[in-house]
């Protein structure tokens, strides 16, 4: 057993763990963030991709102890508010009188451009591959702000999606790249 | 995975002594990309794992006085891909940037690729074709050997149980008049069915002195087509067009994978691929700017 | 009051409501479920494909953390077997574990439950097992031979014997006469590969038994709550109302999760024994080995033609490899063959089929359900016939297909095609790809090929005389609506398209509609999500339920407003008098009356605003001659591929791919587009790479994503040539047809035909991998032939029909890859 500290999404997470624990297990079971998925445990499907000290890695193929002291970002870091509030949940007859959304300090416009593009382009079906796709594309677009469709395909060649046929994922990556470019560095 | 004790030494000397102290069951881990696959499947069951990822001198890239490129064994593919190399060294970047996928390349290291010595992987072929020197250290001191002697003909490496691969020394950027690398894989994320490299040196008159034609994926260690390569010697690079390229490619194929032994579909496929890839490499080498 | 469907949500690409949880990581899949006291189970699986075994688990029982060990022998007589869906008969050939003999690699032998995953895995290693290997049979055509090793010697099948566990028979028209009068007979033996669904989210479950209430709750990554509940309850002999199956977010299934699995039974037993929640999620290798694979088929097909290209007959002998056990296997032949005959109303059909067990992975349902297999054979023979008759492949299809203006039409095989636009799909695809130009000006190693396919929209299974789905709706007291359904969403966008329907019918805001998580304890009975049934069958039930609910709502409104119900309209979350859309009553008020102010209700009105509807499709059972209309309506399409083959490596590049589909009325175009693209991916994988490769002892060599060649983003061409020509169904009230699988069926044949046009090599076996392609090209060069069938399998044969009369394949296909 060994005690390690990993900064997950900006928060310090300490755990006393078996050396056998993989980074993905640390993220899911110690940091309790289950958005990072395991589709193969063999570094092939990419569903477990996260950012480790600025690089995208497959968290099923890294030991938690390898990441001791490092900084990890997962899909949960992409948008702060995790629930999209419905615009008018209040009763119709009182519409406008109460504003509970302001009370919980939430707004709907807080998705990361990649998430927004995935939503708009229908780039996810079952959604299992999505967190990995988002994390890989985030790193890729940071390095290649103006990619071609072929380059996007190369970038996600280590991420398997069984549902979408990849077409809408590539569409979404291109759309997000444009948004990110427009937003400037 | 079976239980193990994990060490993360901060310096080489510490690593040498840890390996010596914990005995032959100890496994080194660079990026862990190959090792962890084996650990998870319980194919490897080491009691001790020593990480090499926090030893600064193992991930440094530098140049020797003669222009040789010295790459620390724990340098990641991602680092190599981004390095600002010149001359034939650019091929190292290209090869490092075109294997596995982005996420694996962030962790995987060139030394790990060498020590894993999987013949379908690209690093062993690159090392043998470029005649890299392998700098090996242990508690007993440092030594260096040729890449060709690093890979054991039976598979694996010739490293001893206490050895750590420390550095890979590539010849200077200007050494090769021409360098080429190519591979065939079913999908971009697959290991190669066949990979190949051709490194060519010339004399002052522009005549070929050495043409090293190396294939991976065929045997347990990189295969050198010596006779086929020798046929190129004495020729000018720009005279390649007049060479019987298809014939040389067929000879290379027969040399490293005799057709009589190609009894399975996989072997027959490899035999055909060697011809295609060799033809491509030769044509490329002969092209202006090759 | 009629609904005005103009300006409605149905037909619009509404972005999906389910996306947000999936995009942000808050969605909970099976492996994300955490319960207090949860323990972990792991399964010991056979490493042999066929063997007797002896087991000693005593060491494992004493390992640290171990809370229980299970084996098959101790469950005999306590747990009921379940089984294959046969014709009118369930054969009890499935059990939680093998008892003393395994029939395929990966079969369950024992299981361990422990405090942690690692302890469970450590304990598995402490189980002592001794195998006594038996000879294996891996291929369907070997399994039927008299001296083949027998897999299940103790079962008696109604329509089969030995390894043949079921048979299939079709006799339509007069095939002898068709043969005698034919101007052309074309024939070929075609075989198709095994393919995994390989849904990215592995199969798994968490079973949780409450010993005080006697309630067993099973959270499972499944496509079908009630199929799992009923079989599980039956197997454990628990009351069905005390078994609750809940599906968390399901990371796809493609058919591979549409049945009960041994691991679900095992986890349940462990939870019953320990009283603790038991987690059992399979690894990728386990999913490959036991998560079911597409049934491989060998089809010996003959087609009869007149000189003008008219098809007069189809004769076929099918041998289907359904692996070591198979829940759905025989249905695949029945339904796939029947529907797969379309779009050709062939007058004379004669088919025999043997459905067999082999020592390979269990055969299951998989996207396309038998259609890709027959399409691969039939659509290639169409091209072969066209070339023999000197006709254009587009023309020979055009003169044979069911045409839109002939509909409704009943084919000799019994299909009632209510509507179709397949003729227009063909024309459109031909135009988009530039067919005639590409055929006339062929470039070396480039070619175009097409395939037509029609696909059922849900299905009445011959062994399963039902085809229903149900929806319950509740108007909540704040004017929001909850939808209850037991048909599990796993990527199809149920929450979105059902809400589109409900929103349109009730005039309630789209964002106010929520789909309740699928839970058998509160959802109405439905069969599940498979067979392209979501939009059409579930969607119809949803429309019916919504209409019923609206009637009730309007009745209250009419009473309160003292107007005639016919003068009322729904919209903007209100019910109002036509033309006065700013007035009227909010739905929340009406819902309030229905439960809190029941004196406001019309006399005799039963309080609360709920409505349930079940839709069972008007489809036929299979007749003794094999005919029948199994599907309520038929989607369809034309695919054309333009490929280039690299003569140096055998690598095939798809330069362009056109898909023109008829999906009837489309509820959500973007979702349907996604379904077609995903369907294509499955077809592409089957055509070019995915396969179950075994060594000679029956070990699966492709049980990892490293070896199993699932297409990557770089393998898929740009799919922007995607068109819809809707021919709205007249049987389904909303006009929609199934979208899930029409993208898959035609892909293999379209690519096979394109490869044949490009190179002259006609593949008769799948998948067409680069190595096969390159070696075929070399063999063709050596042979000097213009057209080369690979592996060449007696194209000129014209003898009698028995299996023995078809010579074995040649062409170096005997040995294994690797
Ligand atoms: C999914 C996947 C796909 C891949 N595809 C390709 C591909 O297509 N082509 C390709 O070329 N490669 C491919 N790789 C392999 C990749 O090249 C290797 O995983 C990588 O090179 C190993 O590097 P590592 O640092 O992770 O090594 P590790 O896994 O840490 O180590 C590998 C082995 O080398 C030993 N070792 C490591 N460093 C040293 C050292 N300095 N001295 C002595 N022994 C040492 C270890 O003990 C271990 O036995 C793939 C890997 C993965 C996981
Ligand atoms: S789970 Fe890590 S790559 Fe598949
Ligand atoms: S959306 Fe299901 S795997 Fe990608």
Q: What is the CATH number of the domain that holds C551?
A: 3.30.365.10
Touching subunits of C (3+ CB pairs, under 8 Å) are A, B
Give the separation between CA C574 and CA A92, rounded to whole angstroms: 10
Banded model confidence at residue C68, pLDDT cuts 50, 70, 90: very high
pLDDT tens string C188-207 = 889 999 999 999 999 999 99
Report, as an integer, the average pLDDT of B176-180: 95
pLDDT confidence of C792, banded at 50, 70, 90?
Answer: low
Contact B102 A56 (CB under 8 A): yes
Output the pLDDT for position B219.
96
pLDDT for residue C244: 98
How deeply is C606 buried, as exposed, middle or buried, from its count of CB atoms within 10 A (0-12, 13-18, 19+)? Answer: exposed
Mean pLDDT of A17-42: 97
Query: What pLDDT was estimated at residue C346?
Result: 97
Decide if pLDDT at B53 tops 80. yes
C274 and C305 together in one domain = no
pLDDT above 90 (res C795)? no
Q: Looking at the domain covering B56-170, what would its CATH class be?
A: alpha beta
User: Domains in chain A and their CATH numbers?
Assistant: 2-77 (3.10.20.30), 112-183 (1.10.150.120)
pLDDT in tens, C281-318: 999 999 999 999 999 999 999 999 999 999 999 999 99
Q: Residue B254 above 80 pLDDT?
A: yes
Q: Give A20 Cα–ligand 2 centroid separation in angstroms.
A: 16
User: What string of DSSP letters covers C774-807?
Assistant: HHHHHHHHHHT-SSEEES---TT-----SGGGSP
For residue C88, pLDDT beyond 50: yes
Using an 8 Å Cβ cutoff, are C741 and C679 in contact? yes
Q: Chain A interface, mutation test: which of C12, C25, C116, C367, most A Cβ atoms within 10 Å?
A: C25
- State the total domains in chain C: 3
If asked whether residues C183 and C318 sit together in one domain, one would say yes
Q: Could you tell me if C117 and C238 lie in one domain?
A: yes
Domain assignment present for residue C483? The answer is yes
| CB-based contact A154 B188, cutoff 8 Å | yes
Are C408 and C282 within one domain?
Answer: no
Does this chain's domain B5-51 share its CATH topology with B56-170?
no
CA distance A175 to A137: 12
> What pLDDT shows up at residue C807?
47
Mean pLDDT value of segment B240-269:
93
What letter would DSSP give residue C163?
T
CA distance A109 to chain B (A): 30
* Beta strand segments in C457-607, E: 468-475, 481-484, 513-515, 568-571, 574-577, 585-586
Q: Give chain A positions within 8 Å (CB) of C673.
A: 122, 168
The ligand whose atoms approach the alpha carbon of B125 most closely is 1
pLDDT tier at C461, thresholds 50, 70, 90 = confident
Judgement on whether residues C630 and C648 belong to the same structural domain of the protein:
yes
Q: Which ligand is nearest to the CA of A57?
A: 2
Q: How far apart are CA B20 and CA B263, in angstroms?
A: 45
| pLDDT at residue A165, as a whole number | 97
Domain boundaries along the sequence of chain B = 5-51, 56-170, 178-286
Check C720 against A120: CB less than 8 A apart. Answer: no
Picking from A19, A43, A56 by the largest number of B CB atoms within 10 A of its own CB, the best residue to mutate is A43
Query: pLDDT at position A98, please?
Result: 63
**Residues of B with CB below 8 A from A18's CB?**
3
Query: What pLDDT score was predicted for residue A26?
Result: 98
Q: Measured between alpha carbons, how far is C62 from C119 in angstroms, rounded to an integer? A: 11
CB proximity B103 to A under 8 Å:
yes
Distances in whole angstroms, Cα of residue C784 to Cα of each of C346, C445, C647, C648, C779: 36, 16, 16, 18, 9
Give the domain extent around C723: 167-196+292-461+623-797
User: Per-residue confidence at B241, pLDDT binned at 50, 70, 90?
Assistant: confident
Q: Which residues of C touch B273 (CB under 8 A)?
A: 649, 774
- Residue in C closest to B273 by C-alpha: C649
Summary mean pLDDT of chain C: 92
Residue C356 · residue C393 · CB < 8 Å: no
Taking the centre of ligand 2 as the mean of its atom positions, its distance from the CA of residue C253, in whole angstroms, is: 18
Query: Residue A157 is nearest to which of B5, B6, B188, comparing CB atoms?
Result: B188
- Residue C87: pLDDT band (50, 70, 90) is low
Of B29, B40, B107, the CB nearest to A57: B107
Q: Quick check: A95 contacting C, CB < 8 Å?
A: no
Class of domain B178-286 as given by CATH: alpha beta
Strands ordered across the beta sheet of A71-73: A11-17, A2-8, A71-73, A49-52, A55-58
| pLDDT tens digits for range C20-55 | 899 999 999 999 999 999 999 999 999 999 999 999
Same domain, C236 and C98: yes
Q: What is the pLDDT of residue C550?
A: 97
Tell whether the model's pLDDT for residue A120 goes beyond 90: yes
User: C121: cis peptide before it, omega within 30°?
Assistant: no
Bridge partners (DSSP) of residue C302 are: C187, C315
Same domain? For C588 and C686 the reply is no
Give the mean model confidence (pLDDT) for residues B72-97. 97
Nearest C-alpha neighbor of C359 from the set C113, C560, C616, C102? C102
Give the model's pLDDT for residue C488: 87
Span of A84-93, C271-280, C557-566 with lowest mean pLDDT: A84-93
Query: Rounded mean pLDDT of C337-352?
Result: 96
pLDDT tens track for A133-178: 999 999 999 999 999 999 999 999 999 999 999 999 999 999 999 9
- The CATH number linked to C217 is 3.90.1170.50
The band of A82, judged by pLDDT with boundaries at 50, 70 and 90, is very low
Closest CA to C15 of C674, C725, C720, C739: C674
Please report which confidence band the pLDDT of residue B101 belongs to, taking 50, 70 and 90 as the band edges: very high
Taking CA atoms, what residue in C is nearest to B263?
Answer: C815
C770 and B279 within 8 Å at the Cβ level: the answer is no
CA dist C55 and C35 (Å) reads 32
Identity of the residue in C125, C712, C772 whose CB atom sits nearest the CB atom of B187: C712
**Is residue C1 a part of any domain in this protein?**
no
Whether residue C606 sits in one domain with residue C482: yes
* B5-51 belongs to CATH 3.30.43.10: yes
**C443 plus C473 within the same structural domain:** no
pLDDT in tens, C135-176: 999 999 999 999 999 999 988 888 888 999 989 999 999 999
**In whole angstroms, what is the distance from residue C65 CA to residue C69 CA?**
12
Long-range contacts of C71-80 (CB under 8 A, 24+ apart): C71/C97, C71/C109, C71/C110, C72/C96, C72/C97, C72/C98, C72/C99, C72/C100, C72/C108, C72/C109, C72/C110, C73/C99, C73/C100, C75/C269, C79/C235, C79/C236, C79/C265, C79/C269, C80/C234, C80/C235, C80/C236, C80/C237
Q: Which helix (H) or strand (E) holds C654?
A: strand C652-662
In this structure, the answer to whether residues C305 and C360 fall within a common structural domain is: yes
CA distance C640 to C656: 8
Does residue C144 lie in a domain region?
Answer: no
Q: Is residue C658 part of a domain?
A: yes
pLDDT exceeds cutoff 50 at C810: no
> Which of A18, A20, A39, A151 would best serve as a mutation to test chain B binding (most B beta carbons within 10 A)?
A20
Cβ pair A34:C32 closer than 8 A = yes
pLDDT band at B16 (very low <50, low <70, confident <90, very high): very high
- Shared domain for C399 and C423, answered yes or no, is yes
Cα–Cα distance measured from residue C650 to residue C773, given in angstroms and rounded to the nearest whole number: 5
What is the arithmetic mean of pLDDT over B110-129? 97
Show residues of chain A in contact with C588, CB under 8 Å: 91-93
Closest by Cβ to C774, choosing from B264, B269, B280 = B269
| Chain A interface includes C677 (CB < 8 A) | yes
Q: Please indicate, yes or no, whether residues C415 and C482 belong to a single structural domain of this protein.
A: no
For the CA atoms of C216, C222, C224, C225, the dihedral, rounded to the nearest 10 degrees, stands at: 20
Per the omega criterion (within 30 degrees of 0), is the bond before A168 cis? no
Q: Please tell me the least confidently modeled range out of A102-111, B124-133, B159-168.
A: A102-111
- What pLDDT score was predicted for residue B166? 98
pTM listed for this prediction? 0.95
Determine how β-strand C51-56 pairs with β-strand C39-45: unpaired
Residues of C in contact with B1 (CB under 8 A): 118
For chain A, the residue count is 185
> Does A58 contact B at CB distance below 8 Å?
yes
């Amino acid at each position: 057993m060994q005690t390690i500290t990993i900064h997950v999404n900006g928060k310090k997470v300490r755990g006393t763990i078996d050396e056998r624990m993989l980074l993905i297990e640390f993220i899911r079971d110690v940091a309790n963030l289950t958005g990072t998925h395991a589709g193969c445990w063999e570094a092939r499907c990419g569903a477990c991709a996260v950012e480790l000290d600025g690089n995208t890695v497959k968290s099923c193929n890294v030991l938690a102890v390898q990441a001791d002291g490092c900084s990890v970002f997962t899909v949960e870091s992409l948008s702060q508010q995790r629930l999209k509030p419905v615009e008018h949940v209040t009763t119709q007859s009182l519409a406008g009188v109460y504003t509970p959304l302001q009370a919980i300090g939430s707004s709907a416009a807080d998705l990361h451009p990649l998430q927004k593009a995935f939503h708009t382009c229908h780039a996810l079906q079952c959604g299992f591959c999505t967190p990995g796709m988002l994390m890989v594309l985030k790193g890729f677009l940071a390095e290649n702000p103006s990619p071609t469709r072929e380059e996007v395909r190369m970038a996600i060649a280590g991420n398997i999606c069984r549902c979408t046929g990849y077409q809408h994922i590539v569409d979404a990556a291109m759309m997000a790249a444009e948004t990110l470019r427009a937003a400037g560095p | 995975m079976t239980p193990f004790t994990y060490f993360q030494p901060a310096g080489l000397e510490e690593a040498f002594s840890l390996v010596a102290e914990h005995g032959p069951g100890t496994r080194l881990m660079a990026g862990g990309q190959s090792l962890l696959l084996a650990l998870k499947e319980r194919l490897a069951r080491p009691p001790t794992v020593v990480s090499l990822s926090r030893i600064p001198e193992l991930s440094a890239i530098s140049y020797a006085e003669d222009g040789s490129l010295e790459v620390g064994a724990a340098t990641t593919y991602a680092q190599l891909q981004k390095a600002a190399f010149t001359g034939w060294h650019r091929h190292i970047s290209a090869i490092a940037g075109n294997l596995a996928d982005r996420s694996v390349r962030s962790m995987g290291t060139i030394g790990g690729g060498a020590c894993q010595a999987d013949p379908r992987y690209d690093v062993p072929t690159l090392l043998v074709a470029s005649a890299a020197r392998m700098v090996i250290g242990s508690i007993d001191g440092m030594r260096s050997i040729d890449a060709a002697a690093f890979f054991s003909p039976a598979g694996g490496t010739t490293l001893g149980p206490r050895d750590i691969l420390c550095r890979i020394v590539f010849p200077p950027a200007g050494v090769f008049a021409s360098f080429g690398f190519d591979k065939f894989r079913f999908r971009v994320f697959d290991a190669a069915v066949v990979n190949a490299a051709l490194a060519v040196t010339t004399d002052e008159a522009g005549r070929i002195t050495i043409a090293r034609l190396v294939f991976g994926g065929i045997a347990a260690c990189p295969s050198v087509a010596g006779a086929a390569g020798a046929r190129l010697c004495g020729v000018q690079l720009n005279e390649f067009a007049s060479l019987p390229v298809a014939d040389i490619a067929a000879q290379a194929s027969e040399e490293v994978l005799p057709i009589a032994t190609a009894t399975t579909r996989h072997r027959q496929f490899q035999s055909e691929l060697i011809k295609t890839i060799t033809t491509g490499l030769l044509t490329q080498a002969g092209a202006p700017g090759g | 009051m009629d609904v005005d469907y103009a300006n409605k949500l149905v037909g619009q690409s509404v972005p999906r409501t389910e996306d947000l949880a999936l995009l942000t990581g808050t969605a909970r899949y099976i492996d994300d479920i955490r319960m207090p006291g949860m323990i972990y189970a792991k399964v010991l699986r056979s490493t042999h494909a066929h063997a007797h075994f002896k087991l000693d688990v005593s060491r494992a029982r004493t390992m640290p953390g171990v809370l229980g060990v299970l084996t098959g022998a101790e469950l005999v007589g306590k747990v009921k077997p379940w089984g294959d869906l046969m014709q009118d008969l369930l054969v009890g050939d499935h059990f939680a574990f093998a008892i003393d003999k395994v029939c395929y690699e990966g079969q369950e032998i024992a299981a361990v439950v422990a405090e942690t995953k690692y302890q469970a895995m450590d304990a598995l290693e402490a189980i002592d097992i001794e195998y006594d290997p038996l000879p294996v049979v891996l291929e369907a055509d070997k399994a039927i031979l008299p001296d083949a090793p027998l897999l299940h010697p103790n079962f008696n099948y109604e329509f089969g014997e030995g390894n043949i566990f079921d048979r299939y028979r079709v006799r339509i028209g007069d095939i002898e006469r068709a043969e005698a009068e034919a101007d052309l007979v074309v024939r070929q033996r075609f075989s198709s590969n095994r393919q995994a669904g390989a849904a990215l989210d592995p199969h798994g479950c968490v079973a949780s038994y409450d010993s005080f209430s006697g309630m067993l709750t099973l959270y499972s990554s499944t496509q079908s709550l009630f199929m799992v509940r009923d079989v599980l309850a039956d197997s454990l002999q628990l009351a069905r109302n005390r078994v609750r199956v809940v599906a968390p977010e399901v990371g796809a299934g493609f058919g591979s999760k549409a049945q009960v699995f041994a691991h679900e039974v095992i986890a349940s037993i462990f939870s019953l024994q320990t009283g603790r929640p038991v987690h059992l999620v399979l690894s990728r290798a386990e999913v490959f080995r036991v998560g079911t694979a597409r049934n491989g088929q060998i089809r010996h097909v003959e087609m009869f033609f007149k000189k003008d290209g008219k098809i007069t007959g189809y004769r076929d002998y099918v041998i289907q490899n359904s692996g070591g056990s198979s829940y759905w296997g025989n249905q695949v032949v029945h339904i796939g063959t029947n529907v797969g005959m379309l779009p050709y109303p062939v007058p004379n059909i004669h088919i025999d089929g043997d459905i067999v067990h082999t020592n390979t992975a269990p055969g299951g349902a998989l996207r396309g359900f038998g259609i890709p297999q027959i399409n691969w054979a039939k659509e290639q023979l169409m091209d072969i016939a066209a070339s023999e008759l000197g006709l254009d492949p587009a023309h020979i299809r055009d003169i044979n297909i069911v045409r839109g203006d002939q509909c409704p039409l009943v084919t000799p095989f019994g299909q009632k095609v209510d509507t179709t636009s397949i003729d227009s799909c063909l024309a459109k695809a031909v135009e988009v790809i530039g067919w005639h130009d590409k055929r006339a000006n062929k470039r070396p190693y480039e070619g175009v090929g097409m395939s037509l396919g029609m696909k059922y929209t849900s299905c009445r299974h011959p062994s399963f005389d039902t085809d229903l789905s149900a929806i319950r709706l509740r108007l909540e007291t704040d004017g929001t609506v909850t939808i209850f359904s037991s048909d599990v969403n796993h990527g199809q966008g149920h929450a979105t398209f059902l809400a589109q329907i409900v929103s349109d019918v009730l005039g309630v805001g789209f964002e106010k509609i929520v789909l309740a998580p699928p839970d058998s304890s509160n959802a109405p009975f439905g069969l599940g999500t498979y067979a392209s049934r979501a939009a059409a069958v579930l969607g119809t039930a949803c429309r019916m339920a919504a209409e019923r609910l609206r009637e009730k709502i309007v009745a209250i409104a009419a009473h309160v407003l003292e107007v005639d119900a016919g003068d009322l309209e729904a919209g903007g979350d209100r019910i109002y008098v036509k033309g006065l859309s700013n007035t009227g009553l909010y739905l929340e008020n009406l819902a309030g009356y229905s439960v809190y102010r029941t004196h406001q209700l019309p006399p005799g009105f039963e309080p609360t605003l709920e409505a349930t509807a079940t839709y069972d499709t008007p489809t036929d059972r299979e007749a003794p001659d094999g005919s029948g209309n199994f599907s309520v309506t038929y989607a369809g399409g034309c695919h054309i591929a333009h490929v280039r083959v690299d003569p140096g490596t055998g690598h095939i590049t798809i330069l362009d791919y056109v898909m023109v589909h008829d999906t009837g009325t489309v509820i959500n175009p973007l979702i349907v587009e996604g379904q077609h693209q995903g369907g294509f991916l499955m077809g592409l994988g089957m055509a070019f790479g995915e396969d179950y490769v075994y060594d000679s002892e029956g070990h699966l060599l492709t049980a990892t994503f490293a070896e199993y060649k699932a297409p990557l983003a770089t393998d898929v061409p740009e799919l922007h040539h995607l068109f819809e020509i809707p021919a709205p169904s007249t049987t389904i009230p909303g006009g929609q047809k199934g979208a899930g699988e029409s993208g898959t069926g035609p892909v293999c044949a379209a690519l096979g035909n394109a490869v044949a046009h490009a190179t002259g090599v006609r593949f008769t076996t799948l998948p067409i991998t680069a190595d096969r392609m390159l070696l075929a090209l070399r063999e063709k060069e050596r042979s000097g032939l213009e057209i080369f069938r690979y592996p060449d399998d007696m194209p000129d044969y014209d003898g009698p029909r028995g299996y023995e009369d078809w010579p074995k394949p040649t062409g170096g296909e005997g040995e294994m890859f690797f």
